[in-house]
Structure 1
Amino acid sequence: MGRLAGDRPRRESRARGGRRPRDGRAGDRPGAGRLPGDVPQRRQRGAHRRRRALAAPRSPPRPLAPLPPPPAHRGPGGPADDGRRPRAGRARGLVHDRRAGGAVLPPLALVVFLRRRRLRAAQLDYRDREGGLAASVTESMRNISLIQAFGLEPATQDTFATRNRATALSGMGVVELNARYQPTADVIVAIGSALVLWVGVTQVISGRITLGMLVVVVSYVASLYAPVRALARLSATFGKAAASRTRLSEIVACDEVMPERPGAPALAGLEHELTLRSVSFAYSPDRPVLHRVGLRVPAGATFCIVGPTGAGKSTLLSLMLRLYDPDEGSIEVDGRDLRAFDLRTIRRRMSLVPQEPAIFDATLRENIALGSTTAGEPEVRRAARLARLDEFASGLPAGYDTPVGEGGVLLSGGQRRRLAIARALVREAPVLLLDEPTSGL
C-alpha cells in the first residue's frame, strides 16, 4: 500500500545483477545483493594461485654489480688521470687559488707594514708631547708661588695652551691613521672577494665545480673580514706599545748600579784618612769638571771645599758616594781603593745633605726617619734637636705627625734645609757630606 507498481521488479533486478547498496549493507533480507556461490569461488581461486606459486621453481638471486673504482688523482709520482679532479679537490683548488690569494694577502701585508711604521712614529711623537705637557703642569703647580710673585699667570697659561694644542693635534693624527687603515683593509678584502667570485663563476660555467661549492668558498672568503678587523685593532695596540717601549728602553738601557767586584768586602768605617789621588772627571768629553784633584782628609776632621759655581764641588761629593766613578785617578779609604768595597756598605757609612733637599709628601717624622730604617722616636727627636727643628715641630698642630706636603710645599726654605740636616744626622754615619748646608739658614 503506498508502493509504486514498478518498485519491486527493480529491487529484484538488482539482486539478480549482484549489485550492492551504496552503504555496503546487504539489505533487509539475508543473502540479498550477491549470488549464492560467489564467495566459495573466490576462495578457491586464491588457494589455487598460492599452490601454483609454491610449486614453481625459484630463480637464483641476481648478483650485485661491483662498485666503480675511485678516480685516479694526478700527483707527484702517481698515475696520470684523465685531466679531471673530484669536485671536493676542485673546491680546495679554488680556495687556494694563487690569483685569489695574491689579490688579498700581499696588499694587506704591505698596508699593515707601512701603517705600523707611520703609527709608531706618530705614537712616539704623541707620547713625547703628552709627557712634556704633564711635566709642565707639575712644574707649574710646584712653583705656583713664584709664578704668582712674578705675575707669570698669563704667560704660563699661554704656554700650557700651546703645548695642550700641540698634544691634541698629535693625538688626532694617531686617530686619523687608525681611521684610514680600516677602510683600506676592507677595500682590499672586498677586491679579493670579487676576484674569488669571478674565478668561481668561471669554474662553475666550465663545470669544474658546482654552485654549492662556490657558495661555500665565498662564505670562507667572507669570514676574512673579522680577522682583518681584529688585525687593525691589534696593529693600533702594537703601535702604542712600541712607542712606549722606545721611551722606556732609554731608562732600561742605563746601568742600574755601579759595577762591583764579586765578593767585595764591606766598608767597616773610616779609621785613618780619606784620600783623592789625581782624580779627573767629565760628564762629557768636551767639558771636563775635575782635573787631577788631590785631597787628604784625616778621620774626625772637618774639611771645607770652597770654589765658584760650577767648580765641581757637588761632583766631588758624588764621586765619594760612588754615584759616579772617576775617569782618572782613585778615591781611597785607609789606603784602599773605594771601588774595592761593597757598594751598599759604602753608602751606609756616608750621609749626604744635598744642595737641593728632597722632601717627600709625608709627615715630618717620616721624612726625618728616611735617613735610617731603624730610627725610632728618640732618634728622630734627637736629630731634630741637633738640626734646631724641634721648636718648629712642637708648634705644629700634630707635632711630628704633621704632613709637609708634596716637595715640602708647607715648609719654608730654611725649614726644608734643617729637615735635610736632621735626616743626615739620624743616620749616624762616620762620614758626613754637606753640600752648601748653610744656604737658607
Structure 2
Amino acid sequence: MIRKVMPYLLPYRLPFLFALTQVFLMSACEILKPWPIKIVIDNVLGNKPIPWEFAAGFSHQTILILSCLGLVMIYLILGGITLLNNYTTIRIGQRMVNDLRRDIYSHLQRLSLAFHSRRQVGDLMYRVTADTYAIQSLTMNGVFPIVTAAALLGGMFFVMVKIDWQLTLLSLAVVPALFVTISLLSGRISTAATLARQQESEVYSIVQRGMSAMRIVQAFTKEEDEHRKFMTASDLSLDASLRLYTLQTFYSGVINVVMALGTAFVVWVGARHVLSGSLTVGEIVVFTTYLASLYAPINTISQTWGIIQGAKVGVQRVFEILDVERDIKEGHRTFPREGAKGEVAWEAVSFEYMPGQPILKKIDLHVQPGQRVAIVGPTGVGKSTMVSLLPRFYEPQAGRVLIDGTDIREFQTKSLRQQIAMVLQPPLVFPISVRENIAYGRPEATLEEVIEAARLARIHESIDRLPNKYDTVIGEQGATLSEGERQRITIARAILRNAPILILDEPTSSVDAETEALIMEGLNQLTRGRTTFIIAHRLSTVRQADVIIVVKGGEIVEKGDFEELVKGQGPFASLYRSQFSLEE
C-alpha cells in the first residue's frame, strides 16, 4: 500500500515538509500552554521566587500580566499555525485525490470493451468519485495526524520526565491496553468498511441503470419495482454504514474509558506526591495538563488507526482497477500522414466472449481499398463483433486482422482508430451542442465543415429549425431529438471524421424509407474512395455494395454482389425474399 501511495505524495514533498515544520511549531506551542498557569500558581499566588534573573525584580502584578499576555500569545500563534497547517494538508490531500482520479479515469478509458462489459458502471463511478477520497483520508487524515501526534507525544514525554519520571511511567501504563483494543477491533472495522463501500457502490449501480433506462421503466410501468430495488439496496447500504459507525463509536468509547482510568490513577498518585511535598501545586497542574495532552496524541493515534482501516479499503478498491493490465497491448507503429490506403483483411480470425462459446470461427476475408462491403445475417451471428475487431475494441483469440498488409496489433491504438469513422448502434449523442456532437471526432473543424457534413447526412434542415441552430444543447441521451435525428447526427459525425475506413452499423435502422433514401444518397458520395463496411438488416441499404458477405453461425457462408446473390438459391436470396414479402 505504501509503495502504491507514495508516488502520489512525492510530487508534494516540499509542501509536506512545510506541513511537518508546522507540526513541530504546533507541538512547541502545546508544550508551552500550561507554563503561564504554573507561573501564576507558583510564583504569583504561592510567592515562590521566579527562577529567571531577568525577571527577578518584577512585581507580582507584572508577572501576572506577562503570564496572561504570554498565554494569549501562545494561543494566537497556535491558532494561526493550526489554520495554516489545515490549509496545507487539505490542499495536499485534495491534489492527491485529483491525481488519483486522473489516473484511474485515464486507465478506465484505455481498458477494452471486454473489461467494461464485465463491470457495473455504477461501481466504477463510485470508485472514481468516492473511493478516490480515501487516499486523502489515508495520508492527510490518517498517517499525517499520527506523525503530528508522535511529535507532540515526544515533546510532552520529555518535559513530563523532567517533572516526575515515576508519574510519567505510570501515565504510560494504559498504552498496552490501547494496543490490545486496536488489535481486537481494527480487523472488524476493516471488514465493515469493505462491506459498506460495496453496498454503497451497488446503490450507485442501481441509480445509474434506472436513470439511463427511464423511458423503458416508464413505458412498462416498472417505477415501483425499480423503487423497490433501490430501497432494498439503500437499506442494505444503511445497515452496513450503521454497523461501521457503531464499531467506530464503540472503538472510540473503549479508548476513552481506558484513558479515563489512566488519568484517574495518575491524579490519585500525583495528589499524594503534592501532599508529601515532592511536587508543587503548579507542577501537578502542569503535569495533569500535560497528561490530558499526552493522552490526546495517544488517543489520536488510536482513533486514526480506525480511520486508516476504512480508508485503506477505499484505496485498495481504486488500485484494484489500476492494477488491471490492459488486454489491448499498445503497438509502436503509426500510419503515414496521408492515412491508411484502406486494404483490410481478416485471416483465420476466431473470437469468443465467453470461453467455449465461439462467436467467430476462422473468418477469412480480404477487402481491397475503396471497396464497399455489406455484412448481413441474422441477429447475434457476429456481424458487429467482426468489425469491432478492426479498431481493436476486442482482441481475437486466434488469427489476425490486417490493414495495408500490417497486423493492426503493431499500430498505436490512437493512430489506428484515427483511420476509422464509425456509426454504431444505438446512436449515441452527448448533452452538448449539436455542433460539438458532430465535431466530436474533429473538434477543430469549422462551422462550414460541420454544416456540410450535416447536409450530407440529411440533418441540416432539422438542425436549422432548432432554437439556437447548431449551438442548441441536446438533452441527456438525446431526449430532445427523435431516434432518426440522433442517427443522422452520428452519421454526420462519421462524415466529418473523413477517415479512410468507414464502419456503418445499421446506419438507417431508425429512419423511414424516405429519409433512408436521402441518407443513402449522402453516404454514396461519402463512401467513394473509402473502404466501407455496412452492417445491415434492411437489405435495401446494401444494393450499392461491391461485395456482400452473409454471416451465419460465426462463419462466412456466402459472398458476392447484390444481383449475383439475389439470383442464387443461397441464404441471402432466402433472407431477401422473406424480407421483401414482409414489406409487401
**TM-score with structure 2 setting the length:** 0.54
Pick closer, same or farther for the CA change 1:429–1:200 going to 2, 3 Å.
Answer: same
Partner of residue 191 from structure 1, selected from 261, 280, 297:
261
- Quote the residue 2:373 is aligned against: 303
Please give the residue correspondences for 1:97-246 in structure 2 after superposition, counting only pairs within 5 Å: 101=172, 103-194=173-264, 196=266, 210-212=278-280, 219-231=289-301, 234-246=304-316
Report the AA paired with residue 168 of structure 2. V
Pick closer, same or farther for the CA change 1:106–1:313 going to 2, 3 Å.
Answer: farther
- Quote the residue 2:417 is aligned against: 347
Shift of 1:260: 2.8
Deviations 1:38-60 (CA, angstroms, capped at 9, x unpaired): xxxxxxxxxxxxxxxxxxxxxxx
Alpha-carbon separation, structure 2, partners of 1:321 and 1:126: 39
Q: Is residue 468 of structure 2 the alignment partner of residue 432 of structure 1?
A: no
Partner of residue 164 from structure 2, selected from 91, 105, 113:
91
Alpha-carbon separation, structure 2, partners of 1:349 and 1:314: 18
- Quote the residue 2:386 is aligned against: 316
Are the aligned partners of 1:91 and 1:214 in contact in 2 as well (CA < 8 Å)? no
Shift of 1:261: 4.2
Deviations 1:221-271 (CA, angstroms, capped at 9, x unpaired): 332332244345534543443232233223322346842345x24355343
- Quote the residue 1:402 is aligned against: 472
Alpha-carbon separation, structure 2, partners of 1:221 and 1:308: 80
Pick closer, same or farther for the CA change 1:340–1:139 going to 2, 3 Å.
Answer: closer
| Secondary structure at the counterpart of residue 396 of structure 2 | coil
Alpha-carbon separation, structure 2, partners of 1:410 and 1:113: 58
Alpha-carbon separation, structure 1, partners of 2:425 and 2:290: 70
Deviations 1:199-231 (CA, angstroms, capped at 9, x unpaired): 7789999x9x93457776655433233224434
Q: Is residue 437 of structure 2 the alignment partner of residue 364 of structure 1?
A: no
Report the AA paired with residue 371 of structure 1. G
Q: Is residue 406 of structure 2 the alignment partner of residue 336 of structure 1?
A: yes
Pick closer, same or farther for the CA change 1:235–1:413 going to 2, 3 Å.
Answer: farther
Alpha-carbon separation, structure 2, partners of 1:435 and 1:114: 59
- Quote the residue 2:16 is aligned against: none
| Secondary structure at the counterpart of residue 371 of structure 1 | coil
Pick closer, same or farther for the CA change 1:247–1:409 going to 2, 3 Å.
Answer: farther
Alpha-carbon separation, structure 2, partners of 1:301 and 1:414: 27
Alpha-carbon separation, structure 2, partners of 1:89 and 1:416: 79
Alpha-carbon separation, structure 1, partners of 2:432 and 2:441: 14
Are the aligned partners of 2:334 and 2:416 in contact in 1 as well (CA < 8 Å)? no
- Quote the residue 2:514 is aligned against: none
Report the AA paired with residue 141 of structure 1. M
Shift of 1:402: 1.6
Pick closer, same or farther for the CA change 1:169–1:89 going to 2, 3 Å.
Answer: closer
| Secondary structure at the counterpart of residue 374 of structure 2 | coil
Report the AA paired with residue 346 of structure 1. L
CA RMSD of aligned residues (A): 3.1
Are the aligned partners of 1:348 and 1:429 in contact in 2 as well (CA < 8 Å)? yes
Are the aligned partners of 1:189 and 1:224 in contact in 2 as well (CA < 8 Å)? no
Alpha-carbon separation, structure 1, partners of 2:354 and 2:274: 75
Alpha-carbon separation, structure 2, partners of 1:426 and 1:412: 21
Q: Is residue 481 of structure 2 the alignment partner of residue 411 of structure 1?
A: yes
Pick closer, same or farther for the CA change 1:335–1:173 going to 2, 3 Å.
Answer: same
Alpha-carbon separation, structure 2, partners of 1:281 and 1:93: 76
Alpha-carbon separation, structure 2, partners of 1:341 and 1:156: 45
- Quote the residue 2:111 is aligned against: none
Report the AA paired with residue 95 of structure 1. T
Please give the residue correspondences for 1:49-68 in structure 2 after superposition, counting only pairs within 5 Å: none
Alpha-carbon separation, structure 1, partners of 2:248 and 2:331: 51
Which sits farther off after the overlay, 250-259 or 317-326? Answer: 250-259
Report the AA paired with residue 399 of structure 2. G
Q: Which runs of 5+ in 2 are unaligned?
A: 1-160, 512-584
Pick closer, same or farther for the CA change 1:359–1:241 going to 2, 3 Å.
Answer: farther
Alpha-carbon separation, structure 1, partners of 2:356 and 2:269: 69
| Secondary structure at the counterpart of residue 275 of structure 1 | strand
- Quote the residue 1:70 is aligned against: none
Deviations 1:375-421 (CA, angstroms, capped at 9, x unpaired): 11121111112222112112222222222111111122222221111
Are the aligned partners of 1:352 and 1:434 in contact in 2 as well (CA < 8 Å)? yes
Q: Which runs of 5+ in 1 are unaligned?
A: 1-87
**TM-score with structure 1 setting the length:** 0.70
Report the AA paired with residue 281 of structure 1. F
Q: Which one scores higher on RCO, CA 8 angstroms, separation ≥ 6? A: 2
- Quote the residue 2:127 is aligned against: none
| Equivalenced residues, count | 349
Shift of 1:180: 0.9
Alpha-carbon separation, structure 2, partners of 1:195 and 1:283: 68
Highest CA radius of gyration, 1 or 2?
1
- Quote the residue 1:49 is aligned against: none
- Quote the residue 1:55 is aligned against: none
Alpha-carbon separation, structure 1, partners of 2:262 and 2:251: 17
Report the AA paired with residue 249 of structure 2. A
Are the aligned partners of 1:278 and 1:291 in contact in 2 as well (CA < 8 Å)? yes
- Quote the residue 1:266 is aligned against: 335
Alpha-carbon separation, structure 1, partners of 2:357 and 2:184: 42
Shift of 1:349: 0.7
Are the aligned partners of 1:387 and 1:422 in contact in 2 as well (CA < 8 Å)? yes
Deviations 1:150-200 (CA, angstroms, capped at 9, x unpaired): 222222232232222222222222221221111100122233345556777
| Richer in helix (by share) | 2
